[in-house]
Structure 1
Amino acid sequence: MNASMLSHILFSCLLLSVQAEYCGVREIIRYVQHLLGDSSVSCPCRQTAVSSCSCLPIPEHGHELACFVDGTKHLMENNKSSNQVITRLYWTFQALLDRNLCKRLAHGDQCQYETKGNVEEFLKKILTTYQEIDKFNV
C-alpha cells in the first residue's frame, strides 16, 4: 500500500466519523425557532376530525428521532401553505434516521409516545432535545 492510498483511507475514515456525529443541531434549532415565531403553532390540540389543529406525538426517551420524522411528515402533509422550513426539517430528520447519523439520539425506528400535543409543544420538544445535544457540542 502506498502513501497516497493510506492517506486516502485515513481521510475517508475521518469523514465517516465526522458524518456519524452529524446531528444538524444548529440548523434544526434555527428552523424550530423560526417556526415557533409563527402564532398559528399555539392552536390547541384536538383529536377530532373537524379540528384544523394538529395533535403530534411527544416522544418517549429513545424514540425522539422517529417521532420527529412522523410529526414533521404530518405537518408537511397537512400544511396548506406548504412551509419550506417544515419540509426541510422533515427531510433532515428522515436522513438522520435512515443513515443513523446522529449518535446522540437513540434510534428506535418506531415512534413511541405517551401523550400528544399541539404544534407548539411538539416544536418545543424538538428544540429542547437539540439544545441538550448542543450543550455537549461546545
Structure 2
Amino acid sequence: MNASMLSYILFSCLLLSVQAEYCGVREIIRYTQRLLDDSSMSCPCRQTATSSCSCLPIPEHGHELACFVDGTKHLMENSTSPNPVITRLYLTFQALLDRSLCKRLAHGDQCQYEAKGNVKEFLEKIMTTYQEIDKFNA
C-alpha cells in the first residue's frame, strides 16, 4: 500500500467520523429562533379541521428527530404560503434522520410524542433540544 492510498483511507475515516457527529446545531438554532420571532407562529393548538393552527407532536425523549421531521413536514404542507425557513428545517431534519448523522439524537423511525402543542411549543422543543446538544459540544 503506497502513501497516497493510506492518506486517502485515513482522510475518508476522518470524514466519516466528522459526518457522524454533524447535527446542524447552530443552523437549526438560528432558523428556529427566526421562526419563534415571527408572531404568526403562536396561535393556540386546535385539532378541529376548521382551525388554521396546527397541533404538532411534542416528542418523547429518544424520538425527537422523527417528530421534528413529522412536525416540520406538517407545517410545510399546511402553510398558506411557502416558508423557506420551515422548508430548510424540514430538509435538514430529514437528512439527519436518513443518514444517521447526529449521534446525539436517537434515530427511531416513528414519532412518539408526550402531547401535542401549538407551533410555538413545537419550535421551543426544537430549540431546547438543540441548545442542550450545543451546550454538550461546548
1:20 maps onto 2:20 in alignment = yes
Structure 1 residues 30-58: Cα deviation after superposition (integer angstroms, max 9, x where no partner): 00000000001110000001100000000
Paired residues in the alignment total 138
What is the distance in 1 between the residues matched to 2:37 and 2:27?
A: 16
- Give the percent of matched residue pairs that are identical in Structure 1 and Structure 2: 88
The structural deviation recorded for 1:108 is 1.1
1:9-88 equivalence runs, <5 A = 9-88=9-88
Q: Could you list the runs of 5+ residues in structure 1 that have no partner in the other structure? A: none
Q: What's the Cα RMSD here?
A: 0.5
Give the SS at the match of 2:116: strand
1:8 paired residue number: 8
* Code of the aligned partner of 2:72: T
Q: 2: distance between equivalents of 1:119 and 1:44? A: 8
SS in 2 for 1:116: strand
Cα distance in 2 for partners of 1:51, 1:65 equals 26
- Give deviations 1:14-37, integer Å, cap 9, x for gaps: 000000000000000000000000
**What SS class does the counterpart of residue 96 from structure 1 fall into?**
helix
- Residue by residue over 1:40-99, the C-alpha shift from the partner in whole angstroms, topping out at 9 and shown as x without a partner, is 111000000110000000000000000000000000001112100000000000000000
The TM-score normalised by the length of structure 2 is 0.99
Q: How does 1:123-138 map to 2 (within 5 A)?
A: 123-138=123-138
Please list every run of 5 or more consecutive structure 2 residues that lacks an aligned counterpart in the other structure: none
Question: Is 1:122 the equivalent of 2:122?
Answer: yes
